[in-house]
Amino acid sequence: MRYKLGRDIVVRSENAAKPATQPSSYLVKLLLKLPHVTTSFDMGCGKLRYSETILKRTDTLALVDSEVQLSRRQVLNKKFTSIREITKRSNRVTAYNDVEFTKVPPRFDRGFCINVLSVVPIYAVRVRILESIKAHLDDQAECLFVVQYRNSDFSRMRQLPNARCWRDGFLIDSLRGYSFYGLISPERLLSKLRATGFVVQDVTLNEGSAYVWATPK
């Protein structure tokens, strides 16, 4: 997504997406232990960092991101392609941009929002993401929310001359444009989830990341 902050700052959230070659081993193990379900979605799928692992525990998977991220050609799964092109060749995976996803009727068995909220610099947009996730989950379905609340790389980047503070994080101005990196405390995440109507089921903290399972009811 693109977020305009003021007159001359446009944040490109895709700049902060990490490649599939840099997954969290802790999270991969967590995902592989999940019981199998029929339908899942990956909100803010980015560069498909965890999509292949999620697919091992679900029949079908919906990839949700901005149209820019879905359509642009980049290195994915060691090939120069796009998410749109990948899903055209699959009968298990579909892709929706944020507008298309609002019109998708079925409710899903499981959702994922992995390190997505922390790249969104506008609080109101974070709330809309949470509302969209809640609207697409079955009543008893769970969604896994992952945010970072401590990161040594972020601490180093914050000191760079091209960094500036913004809300609960900082902006980096580079040749690719502006990127935003936020640190969201577990308490703030739980507060936002409950304010949106989620019921928190489980909270785990591991090496600076919070892993929260929540249901819409």
Task: Note the pLDDT tens digit of each residue in 80-106.
Answer: 999 999 999 999 999 999 999 999 987
193-212: average pLDDT: 97
The span from the CA of 140 to the CA of 103, in Å, is: 21
Element spanning 74, H or E? strand 74-76
The span from the CA of 12 to the CA of 177, in Å, is: 7
11-30: average pLDDT: 83
The span from the CA of 70 to the CA of 82, in Å, is: 6
User: Picking from 2-6, 116-120, 179-183, 185-189, which range would have the lowest pLDDT averaged per residue?
Assistant: 2-6
CA–chain centroid gap for 76, Å, is 17
Residues above pLDDT 90, as percent of the chain: 77
Q: How many domains does the chain have?
A: 1
Q: Residue 163: give its domain's CATH number.
A: 3.40.50.150
Indicate if the pLDDT at residue 19 is higher than 70.
no
Indicate if the pLDDT at residue 34 is higher than 70.
yes
Strand partners, 212: 145, 203
Indicate if the pLDDT at residue 78 is higher than 90.
no
* pLDDT recorded at residue 217: 82
Range of the domain at 177: 2-215
pTM: 0.93
104-124: average pLDDT: 94
Residue 123 CB neighbour total at 10 angstroms: 11
Structure tokens at 213: 């399972």
Element spanning 134, H or E? helix 123-136
Question: Tell me: the pLDDT tens digits for 43-52?
Answer: 999 999 999 9
